[in-house]
């Protein structure tokens, strides 16, 4: 069955068509600047190896974007499908499922209402995700659709891991707790880790380091997530591209007072102007630039990368303790898959776990690689993530 995977943001829409039987990627693309001047659709027919086709064309709303995507997919010249009937189901990435959604679900009117109900937990993401659902429903009313939640995989966390030590009312009234994000990736990578290791998923302890522009880490014990670093929102935990990760919450009031800002303004700085971008003294949030600066002797780039890696290593230690041990450490996402420099920096802290870096293997990137030596007692791997394939699998399983 062909699955159309949709990841819809407020002004962008990423899409892929995946054949769920062979897991082959047939086509992919991206609509950008939806509702803004200069909208662009990028489309690639993978079957024909056509290369990227970029077209600037007006997209006043998401309906127009989805109709352009469907047009490209069925176009006589560029299409991978003869007609829309060849799309068996649509899988939508939905950022926040609150406590209501512990697994992926077929989208019904009740599900849409329930997603709206938890939208105040992700006011920037859920409404945008739902616009994508509406647009697909309008153009393909008879095609089944599935919601795949970023938070669902983490719903197995025990209370002691997800509760904040705050007045109980905040949880009872507002559901303030740790939810965690990147769940589709943590689930995909921890399962892939078990497959690569040739061990049953429910018999190993894995720490997944999802290191991308957004970064999070999870402890997966015998097939269940028992802890993760992101919280009520994606701001908590690791240092990220522009997010601060963990800080003393009192800093918010302190800076608001000093800079005459509101709490919301300070939190916006924590989300958009902090992280390695801030530590590098505003040089970049991209690790390729930071590595270049580090090697060239830029002390701020060094600080940014060293602080980032130190935070990852501290979480690895915490999660090894939480699981009373660890068997595998999996590095994934843009930085985890591509930066041997960052992996080596993190691994220098992990000798006490019995992990030794295989320096030659660590030079590889973008594929499954064992980066620890054979005599290490805990093994470290690069395991590429594939969130779209994970969404396609979940969708096919329900349709
Ligand atoms: P997100 O999905 O959160 O936007 P990605 O997982 O795509 O993030 O990761 C993006 C980050 O990966 C970039 O900011 C960049 O820092 C890093 N990255 C990509 N390729 C490389 C590379 N070859 N070396 C170092 N870092 C890289």
Pocket test for ligand 1, best of 291, 312, 335, 387 (most atoms within 8 A of CB): 335
Enter the tokens of residue 112: 């849409």
Whether the model clears a pTM of 0.75, i.e. scores above it, the answer is yes
Ligand 1 nearest atom to the CA of residue 210, by list position: 6
> Cα–Cα distance between 309 and 230 in angstroms, integer?
17
> Cα–Cα distance between 125 and 9 in angstroms, integer?
7
Instruction: Please give the positions annotated as active site.
Output: 150
Exposure of 287 by Cβ count < 10 A (0-12 exposed, 13-18 middle, 19+ buried)?
A: buried
Quote the ligand 1 centre to 366 CA distance (angstroms). Answer: 11
> Cα–Cα distance between 261 and 243 in angstroms, integer?
18
Quote the ligand 1 centre to 320 CA distance (angstroms). Answer: 26
Quote the ligand 1 centre to 214 CA distance (angstroms). Answer: 9
Q: What is the pLDDT of residues 188-203, one digit of tens each?
A: 999 999 999 999 999 9
pLDDT at 326: 98
Instruction: Tell me the pairing of strands 24-32 and 13-19.
Output: antiparallel
Quote the ligand 1 centre to 66 CA distance (angstroms). Answer: 27
pLDDT above 90 as % of the chain: 96
Residue 302 is inside which H or E element, if any? helix 299-322
- List the beta bridge partners of residue 329: 207, 380
Residue 10: pLDDT band with limits 50, 70, 90: confident
Pocket of ligand 1 (CB under 6 A): 212-214, 241, 286-288, 291, 333-335, 338-339
Number of alpha carbons in the 13 Å side-chain half-sphere of residue 75:
15
How many angstroms separate the first and last alpha carbons of the chain?
A: 9
- List the beta bridge partners of residue 135: none
Pocket test for ligand 1, best of 213, 340, 343 (most atoms within 8 A of CB): 213
């Amino acid at each position: 069955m062909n699955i159309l995977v949709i990841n819809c943001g407020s002004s962008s829409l990423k899409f892929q068509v995946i054949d769920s039987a062979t897991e082959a990627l047939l086509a992919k693309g991206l609509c950008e600047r939806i509702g803004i001047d200069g909208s662009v659709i990028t489309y690639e027919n993978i079957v024909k190896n056509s290369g990227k086709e970029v077209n600037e064309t007006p997209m006043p709303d998401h309906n127009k974007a989805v109709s352009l995507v469907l047009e490209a997919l069925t176009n006589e010249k560029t299409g991978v499908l003869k007609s829309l009937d060849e799309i068996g189901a649509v899988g939508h990435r939905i950022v926040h499922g609150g406590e209501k959604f512990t697994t992926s679900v077929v989208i019904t009117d009740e599900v849409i209402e329930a997603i709206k109900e938890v939208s105040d937990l992700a006011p920037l993401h859920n409404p945008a995700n739902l616009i994508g659902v509406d647009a697909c429903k309008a153009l393909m009313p008879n095609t089944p659709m599935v919601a795949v939640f970023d938070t669902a995989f983490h719903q197995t966390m025990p209370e002691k891991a997800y509760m904040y030590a705050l007045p109980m009312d905040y949880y009872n009234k507002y559901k303030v707790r740790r939810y965690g994000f990147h769940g589709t990736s943590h689930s995909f990578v921890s399962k892939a880790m078990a497959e690569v290791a040739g061990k049953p998923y429910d018999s190993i302890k894995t720490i997944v380091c999802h290191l991308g522009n957004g970064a999070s880490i999870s402890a997966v014990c015998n097939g269940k997530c028992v802890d993760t670093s992101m919280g009520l929102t994606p701001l908590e935990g690791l240092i990220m591209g522009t997010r601060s990760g963990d800080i003393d919450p009192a800093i918010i009031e302190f800076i608001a007072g000093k800079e005459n800002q509101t709490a919301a303004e300070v939190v916006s700085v924590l989300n958009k102007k902090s992280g390695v971008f801030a530590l590098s003294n505003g040089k970049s949030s991209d690790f390729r630039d930071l590595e270049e600066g580090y090697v060239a002797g830029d002390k701020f780039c060094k600080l940014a990368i060293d602080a980032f890696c130190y935070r990852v290593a501290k979480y690895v230690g915490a999660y090894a303790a939480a699981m009373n041990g660890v068997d595998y450490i999996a590095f994934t996402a843009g930085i985890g898959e591509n930066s041997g420099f960052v992996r080596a920096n993190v691994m220098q802290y992990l000798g006490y776990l019995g992990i030794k870096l295989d320096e030659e293997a660590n030079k590889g990137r973008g594929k499954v690689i064992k980066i620890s030596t054979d005599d290490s007692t805990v093994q470290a791997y690069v395991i590429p993530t594939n969130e779209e394939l994970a969404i396609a699998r979940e969708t096919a399983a329900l349709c």
